Amino acid sequence: MKVLITGIDGYSGWPLALHLLGRGHEVVGIDNFVTRKRVKEVGSWSGTPIGTFPQRQEAVQRLLGKSIQFYKGDVTRYPFVVDVVRREKPDAIVHLAEQRSAPYSMIDVDHAVRTQVENLTGTLHLLYAIREASPETHLVKMGTMGEYGTPDVDIPEGFFEVDYRGRHDRLPFPRQAGSWYHWSKVFDSGDVMFATKIWDLKSTDVMQGVIYGTRTPEITDDALLTRFDFDETWGTALNRFAVEAVLGLPITPYGRGGQVRGFIALEDSVQSLRIAIENPPKRGEYRVLNQFDAAYSINELAELTHRIATDLGLSPRIEHMPDPRVEAEQHYYNPIHELLPALGYQRSRNLEDVLREIFRDLIRFRRRLEKRRHVVMPTVEWRHADNVGRLNTRHAPAPASAAATPATAPEPAVDTSHTPA
Amino acid sequence: MKVLITGIDGYSGWPLALHLLGRGHEVVGIDNFVTRKRVKEVGSWSGTPIGTFPQRQEAVQRLLGKSIQFYKGDVTRYPFVVDVVRREKPDAIVHLAEQRSAPYSMIDVDHAVRTQVENLTGTLHLLYAIREASPETHLVKMGTMGEYGTPDVDIPEGFFEVDYRGRHDRLPFPRQAGSWYHWSKVFDSGDVMFATKIWDLKSTDVMQGVIYGTRTPEITDDALLTRFDFDETWGTALNRFAVEAVLGLPITPYGRGGQVRGFIALEDSVQSLRIAIENPPKRGEYRVLNQFDAAYSINELAELTHRIATDLGLSPRIEHMPDPRVEAEQHYYNPIHELLPALGYQRSRNLEDVLREIFRDLIRFRRRLEKRRHVVMPTVEWRHADNVGRLNTRHAPAPASAAATPATAPEPAVDTSHTPA
């Protein structure tokens, strides 16, 4: 099959491309390199050294004997999007080209607006481009388990059967997101559901759990590494915990640490997306998949990180800090995830093994992390309307106009300061 | 109380201002006159002759002895919004400054994006401005009954009690909107709910039914008239039916005409908003009101229009036409509306009386309608991705860049071609 990946230069886009190539699929990519730019804006960089995109393409050619067709551009420009879709007519589009950081969206009003505007604009553009130029294309849209929030009932896969005041219906499950970013994904879900209905499209809305890991089987060489973010804005809790342990900083769960979320290994996330692509829905079907492997509390992550770090001879300590987010610190959490297993999904990695692998990589790249140790600890307080003065930035946030113009400044080429183990 | 109305120049903003002034409240207004501009873009104008905003202010001074403080500007510009909110610190903000036409949002990709981007940007700006400059201000946000769609169960006021797989919770009622415009209102609802929670604001989200009527008791002179839209893009079904009957065109229900919606008279809509303003929620409370008076099917509206037109000596005929929308043409519909009556709401007008009053006004302004008879019949087909070529426009749609720049061109001054009855 031919698969177009928007955001192919990103954390999960890149290993997805490698996996699909390994399975014999044809891969086309779009990116505007805005994540590289924005990570730099908050004073950070990828914990793993990654090449420029041309260097990545060259590595794929050299190591795997495959090529990736690439279009540099921004999904918020409709003529660009429809042109690529018309030219390529892919079997599937995996849409990963969205602003993906909840803390980034909470910095201030400009970041809130930019996140929601960019994300829904890109999704609307893809929907219209498919309708206009390639209506058989299956859209695989990246949402988040965070769309659902933490209701006191089980969380179904998108829809649920409801009895209310003596009548019955099957309805979309209510969304209660916890950041402007998470709400932007809720909005996307509404637009994808509606477009699928009125235009008879094929769509899969992936309620993605938090992804962890630095590797997939296809990453056989450092030149094929994917990015790894660990700063307060772009890193996940688990990434930050591991980097904190490596750098001798305290491991810092927010609040009481009873917050539970769904997680999945990078390799299994990529597997799941490949399964969704290879098993498309029918025309007119809007399919929602809860894509996570297991649920863990923040305390469980902190304690596992602590144990592995101790095994490795580090001297970790856990220090709870006030929760900057607005979220329940103890709650019921039982999301259903049955559709992917029914399509053939099987767990290939477990959290402990992957976390040990993450530590191996981080220790190899320790000097790279040391140079950015000041960006790990959180400063953005979600109850504040304006956090610009609090951010540990070396650079001011981008001007508001950045939302309308494609960001094209590449990240500096591969950093060579790390000493391979 | 001091009330800031965004969109004060619009169909319901203007009579709300007059009503609040009559109740002794202080009124401040914001508008960018974009509705005047966009109605002109589709080749139409208001069926009622309305003055420029300075003429309206002068009429209020002359006829009511009151003044309205006015700021011309666009809610998509944050510095403007926060400046007005900081300067005025109103007790309530009624936010009506949104793109309000479902057909407009369905024209093509640019109109879809513009509608969703403008609407959610304006709402986010108001939320941040309240948080930053006036956190005691009560935000009254205009949503729509159309957010809910037509589920096969009763529709509660925003939230419902759910039993699911042996557990219980109170959750937001699922939204299933039927146009990009209606989805933009769903998105606003999510943002208002979230901001109210994290910043401890006061908000009322009004699920507004379709408003009908040309008059409120405060409109004692033609110089105080509000606008009345009847073209396919900006007019409601009832407005179009009445104008079709007056112009000798067929009355044109879409499809089988079994579509049922909630309706409310302009006078009662204004009453409801005033009740919401005078009875604000507590800090931290997000309140949802289903604001309609009674539900009617499209066929009931067409038949009532036909009967009244016949009484008036016109020769109406009903011609069903294919439904350009994507909607159920026969369905269950039972929304609950108990909160406003509990706060003191009482119906003051019924549909038949108001429709007779609409006819009296339209017959007075018949020559005005005659000049725009070519814009009444629908041409936008919601299943199409691009309707630009189908639109009955004299002018091309605005360029995409209009979304970012305030539209300031005023509508031409009062048209003097009508002959008062």
Mean pLDDT of B348-366: 97
What are the C-alpha distances in Å from B172 to residues A75, A181, A421, B230, B291?
31, 19, 52, 34, 17
- Identify the DSSP state of B158: S
Q: Can you tell me the distance from the alpha carbon of A262 to that of A295, in angstroms, rounded to the nearest whole number?
A: 4
Q: Choose among B121, B153, B404: nearest Cβ to A167.
A: B153
Whether residues B169 and A153 touch (CB distance < 8 A) is answered with: yes
Q: Can you tell me the distance from the alpha carbon of A242 to that of A207, in angstroms, rounded to the nearest whole number?
A: 25
Does residue B95 contact residue B6 with C-beta atoms inside 8 Å?
yes
What are the C-alpha distances in Å from A191 to residues A5, A319, B179?
19, 41, 9
- The pLDDT, as a whole number, for residue A315 is 95
What is the rounded end-to-end Cα distance, in angstroms, of chain A?
38
- The pLDDT, as a whole number, for residue A390 is 67
For strand A167-172 and strand A92-95, is the pairing parallel, antiparallel, or unpaired?
unpaired
> CA A144, A150, A152, A155: dihedral to nearest 10 degrees?
10
Phi/psi at B289 (nearest 5 deg)? Answer: -115, 125
Q: Can you tell me the distance from the alpha carbon of A84 to that of A78, in angstroms, rounded to the nearest whole number?
A: 10
Average pLDDT in chain B? 92
Beta bridge partners of A25: none
Place B383 in a pLDDT band, splitting at 50, 70 and 90.
confident
Q: Can you tell me the distance from the alpha carbon of A165 to that of A169, in angstroms, rounded to the nearest whole number?
A: 11
3-state secondary structure of A288: strand
- The pLDDT, as a whole number, for residue A94 is 98
Which residues from chain A sit within 8 angstroms of residue B128, using beta carbons?
108-109, 112, 385
A318, with CB counted inside 10 A (0-12, 13-18, 19+), is: middle
Place B390 in a pLDDT band, splitting at 50, 70 and 90.
low
Q: Choose among B121, B156, B186: nearest Cβ to A113.
A: B121
- The pLDDT, as a whole number, for residue A379 is 76
Identify the closest residue of chain A to B201 by CA–CA distance.
Answer: A383
Q: Is the pLDDT of residue B123 over 80?
A: yes
Place B309 in a pLDDT band, splitting at 50, 70 and 90.
very high
Q: Can you tell me the distance from the alpha carbon of B139 to that of B280, in angstroms, rounded to the nearest whole number?
A: 9
Phi/psi at B79 (nearest 5 deg)? Answer: -60, -35
Length in residues, chain B: 421
Q: Can you tell me the distance from the alpha carbon of B126 to that of B75, in angstroms, rounded to the nearest whole number?
A: 8
Q: Is the pLDDT of residue B419 over 70?
A: no
Whether residues B171 and A151 touch (CB distance < 8 A) is answered with: yes
- The pLDDT, as a whole number, for residue B366 is 97
Tokens 């014999």 belong to A24
| Each residue's pLDDT tens digit, B179-230 | 999 999 999 999 999 999 999 999 999 999 999 999 999 999 999 999 999 9
Closest chain B C-alpha to A153 CA, distance in angstroms: 5
Spans in chain A with pLDDT lower than 50: 393-421
Q: Is the pLDDT of residue B396 over 90?
A: no
Residue of A250, A257, A139 whose CA lies nearest to A202: A139
- The pLDDT, as a whole number, for residue A383 is 81
% of chain B with per-residue pLDDT over 70:
92
Whether residues A168 and B152 touch (CB distance < 8 A) is answered with: yes
Whether residues B153 and A169 touch (CB distance < 8 A) is answered with: yes
- The pLDDT, as a whole number, for residue B421 is 32
% of chain A with per-residue pLDDT over 70:
92
Q: Can you tell me the distance from the alpha carbon of A228 to that of A47, in angstroms, rounded to the nearest whole number?
A: 5
Q: Can you tell me the distance from the alpha carbon of B302 to that of B312, in angstroms, rounded to the nearest whole number?
A: 15
Q: Choose among B108, B169, B386: nearest Cβ to A152.
A: B169
Q: Residue A6: which H helix or E strand, with range?
A: strand A2-6
Identify the closest residue of chain B to A166 by CA–CA distance.
Answer: B153
Give the distance, in angstroms, between the CA of residue B163 and the centroid of all CA atoms in the same chain: 35
Q: Can you tell me the distance from the alpha carbon of A349 to that of A9, in angstroms, rounded to the nearest whole number?
A: 23
B69, with CB counted inside 10 A (0-12, 13-18, 19+), is: middle
Topology adopted by domain B2-403: Rossmann fold (3.40.50)
State the amino acid at position A298 in one-letter form.
Answer: I
A72-86, A271-285, B18-32, B407-421, range with the lowest pLDDT:
B407-421
Place B406 in a pLDDT band, splitting at 50, 70 and 90.
very low
Does residue A4 contact residue A92 with C-beta atoms inside 8 Å?
yes
Whether residues A169 and B152 touch (CB distance < 8 A) is answered with: yes
Q: Can you tell me the distance from the alpha carbon of B80 to that of B341, in angstroms, rounded to the nearest whole number?
A: 36
Q: Can you tell me the distance from the alpha carbon of B203 to that of B92, in angstroms, rounded to the nearest whole number?
A: 9
% of chain A with per-residue pLDDT over 90:
87
Q: Is the pLDDT of residue B275 over 80?
A: yes
What are the DSSP E strand ranges found in B246-354?
Answer: 260-265, 286-291, 294-297
3-state secondary structure of A355: helix
- The pLDDT, as a whole number, for residue B170 is 98
Mean pLDDT of B329-337: 95
User: Got the DSSP string for B349-416?
Assistant: --HHHHHHHHHHHHHHTHHHHHTTGGGSS----TT-S--TTTS--SSPPPPGGGGTS---PPPPS---
Tokens 């590494």 belong to A225
Whether residues B190 and A191 touch (CB distance < 8 A) is answered with: no
**Which residue of A111, A187, A323, A383 to mutate against B (max B Cβ within 10 Å)?**
A187
Tokens 């235009």 belong to A199
Tally Cβ neighbours within 10 Å of residue A171: 20
Q: Can you tell me the distance from the alpha carbon of A211 to that of A217, in angstroms, rounded to the nearest whole number?
A: 16
Mean pLDDT of B161-180: 97
Q: Can you tell me the distance from the alpha carbon of A322 to that of A338, in angstroms, rounded to the nearest whole number?
A: 35
Asked if ipTM goes beyond 0.85, one says yes
Does residue B210 contact residue B238 with C-beta atoms inside 8 Å?
yes
Which residues of B have a catalytic role annotated?
144, 181, 185
- The pLDDT, as a whole number, for residue B418 is 38
Residue of A267, A190, A268 whose CA lies nearest to B183: A190
Residue of B267, B264, B271 whose CA lies nearest to B215: B267
Which residues from chain A sit within 8 angstroms of residue B156, using beta carbons?
164
State the amino acid at position A210 in one-letter form.
Answer: V
- The pLDDT, as a whole number, for residue A223 is 98
- The pLDDT, as a whole number, for residue A111 is 97
